[in-house]
Amino acid sequence: GPWLGAWTVFAAAISNIALFQAELSADAFQLMGMADRGHIPKIFSKRSKHGTPTNGIILGTAVIVVMGTSNFDQLIEMLN
C-alpha cells in the first residue's frame, strides 16, 4: 500500500545520505594519505582533535557544491 511506498522512499533516502557521507569520508582520507606521502600539499594531512581529515572534507564539499550548481551540459563536457 501507500505506507510501504513511503517507507521505501524514506529508506532509500537515508541509504543515499549514508552512501554520500561514506564516499566523502573515503575521499578525504585518500587526500590525507597522499599528503602524508608528499604527493599533495601537507595542509591536507592535518587532522582535527577527533582524527578527521578536516581540510579534505572541506575540499570535497567545495567541489560538490561547485559541481552541483554547474550546468549539467558543462559537467558532461568536462567529464568526457
* Alpha carbon distance 5, 33 (integer Å): 42
pLDDT digits (tens, 9 = 90+) for 15-60: 999 999 999 999 999 999 999 999 999 999 999 999 999 999 999 9
* Rg from Cα positions in the chain: 17
C-alpha cell at 47: 587532522
Q: Which residues contact 32 (CB under 8 A, 6 or more apart)?
A: 44, 45, 47, 53, 56
For residue 11, the model assigns a pLDDT of: 97
pLDDT digits (tens, 9 = 90+) for 5-18: 999 999 999 999 99
For residue 74, the model assigns a pLDDT of: 85
pTM of the model: 0.76
Does residue 70 have a pLDDT over 90? no
